[in-house]
Amino acid sequence: MMNLHQISLSKKERMKRVNKNVYREEIGHIRQIKRSGHSCMLTISCRTVLEGTKLGDSIAVNGACLTVTRMDQDSFDADVTPETLRRTSFSICRPGSPVNLERALRLCDRLGGHIMLGHVDGQGKILSFRKLDNSIEVAITLDKALMRYIVEKGSVAIDGISLTVAERTDTGFTISLIPHTGEKTILMDKKPGDPVNIECDYIGKYIEQLMKDKPGEGLTLGMLQSLGHGGSYGL
C-alpha cells in the first residue's frame, strides 16, 4: 500500500499553504466533546467561519449542518442529536480531530460546486488512495441503499466537500482529488478504513419519492430504461 506521505504534502506544510490562501473557509479542530446518552455537544476551535456568524446560524462540520449555540472569538458550540450521531462519523471523533468547516451559502455567492443541504445520508468508508499524475484517486465503499443515488460524472459531498464521481460500481465509487482540494480539506489526513460522511445529490431523492407516490403516472424507471437511460449511471 502506498504511504500517504509519498503522495501528499505533510500536514504542517499543507496548513502553511492553506493559511496563505485568504479565499477559503476553514479547517477547525474539535476542542471538547460533552457526551450525554446518544447525543453530544461539540466545542470547535476556529476563527474564519465565525466572521459574521450569529447565535442560531448554521455551520457545516464535515458536511453536517449544525446550529451555533455558543460562540466566542475562537470557538463555537453545537449540539449533535442522536440522529446525526447515527448517520455521521462524529461518534469516533476525539478532541484534536480536524474538521472541515463551512458557513451557509449566500445567494450572492458564486456556486463553484453543487448545492449541499448539510443533511448527511450515511457513512462511506475509504478503500484506497492511488496517485494518478497530478491527482489522487480516492476509492470509497458505500451501502447499496445509497449507491442508487451515485451517478457517474454527477456530484457527491464527502465530509462536506463537493466532488465529482469519476467511476461507480455496485458497491462503491471513486473521485479524483486535485492538489488544491487536498490542501484545503482534511480528506488527505484520512487513511484506508476511515469513515467519511456522505451526502448524495438531493435532486435524485426527490425524483425517486415523486415517482413512488404516483406509480404508473408520468415518468417511470421503465420508461427511462426503454429510452436507453440507466445502466452505468445508477438508475
Output phi, psi for 4, to 5 deg: -60, -25
Place of cell 470547535: 44
One domain, residues 128 and 97: no
Q: Cβ distance 142 to 172 under 8 Å?
A: yes
Q: What's the CATH code of the domain at 128? A: 2.40.30.20
One domain, residues 92 and 132: no
How far, in Å, CA of 130 to CA of 152, rounded? 19
The pLDDT assigned to 204 comes to 85
Q: What is the pTM of this model?
A: 0.78
Domain final residue, candidates 76, 103, 130: 103
The pLDDT assigned to 110 comes to 74
Instruction: Report if residue 152 sits inside a domain.
Output: yes
Write out the residue range of the structural domain in which residue 53 sits: 25-103
The pLDDT assigned to 230 comes to 60
Instruction: Report if residue 59 sits inside a domain.
Output: yes
Instruction: Report if residue 131 sits inside a domain.
Output: yes
DSSP conformation letters of 35-78: EETTEEEEEEE-SGGGTT--TT-EEEETTEEEEEEEE-SSEEEE
96's torsion region: left (phi>0), alpha (psi -120 to 50) or beta?
Answer: left
Instruction: Provide block-wise average pLDDT over 10 residues at a time, the chain (235 residues).
Output: 39 38 71 95 97 96 97 97 96 95 83 83 96 94 95 94 94 94 92 96 85 66 69 51
